[in-house]
Amino acid sequence: LKCLRKGQLLRYQQVEHVVNEKRVLALCDHPFILKLAGTFNRETEIFMLLEVALGGELFTYLRQQTRFDEEQACLYAAMVTAAFGYLHERKIAHRDLKPENLLFDAEGYLKLVDFGFAKVIRDRTWTLCGTPEYLAPEIILEKGHGKAVDWWAFGVLFYEMLNGHSPFEAEDHLATYQKILDGTVNYPSKMPALAVDLVGKLLQKDITRRYGNLKDGAG
């Protein structure tokens, strides 16, 4: 049961974030997306009753393991792909994929969480949002973006799962953004050739050629 104090939401300008989360989760019913069972409104608080996922964050597990083997990374990647396919069919972009926003349930399946930046996008939107190392070039350039940003972030996540670090690590946000815009990715020699090929097709600056955003979508 997630308890949110209205005063704090106003103070930290999180009202739109919470309204977005509630609105989008209410549209979703998918095994790899955290379910919203109900919301309750009191004078000073809002309550969100969410599905239980007590297995911890993918972030914590990845830090403990350092990196995942190919089979493990592919399994988790498949769950994220299925969740994104479901969302994108409904015109919803998540816009904040990262290991911290993937939780394990009791059986070891992933649940995509934190839909505060999620949005129904019919054409393009211009809001600068997300986590620096996962931002697609079109978000940084503020040229308008759509659901394709999720597939860029997925490419970053897949690379990180296999190597234990982001492809765009840098000392500060500006340096990170510059690396993303340059588009240069260093692939360790131990990284499987098929994974290198997939990441390259996901970290594609041209959204008309980016995997996941092609004619067949997540298929």
Residue type at 62?
A: L
Work out the burial of residue 133: count CB atoms within 10 Å of its CB; fewer than 13 is exposed, 13-18 middle, 19 or more buried.
buried
What three-state secondary structure class fits 87? helix
Residue recorded with tokens 């911890």: 56
What three-state secondary structure class fits 187? coil
Residue positions annotated with a catalytic role: 96
Rounded distance between C-alpha atoms, residue 90 and residue 120, angstroms: 8
Rounded distance between C-alpha atoms, residue 132 and residue 74, angstroms: 24
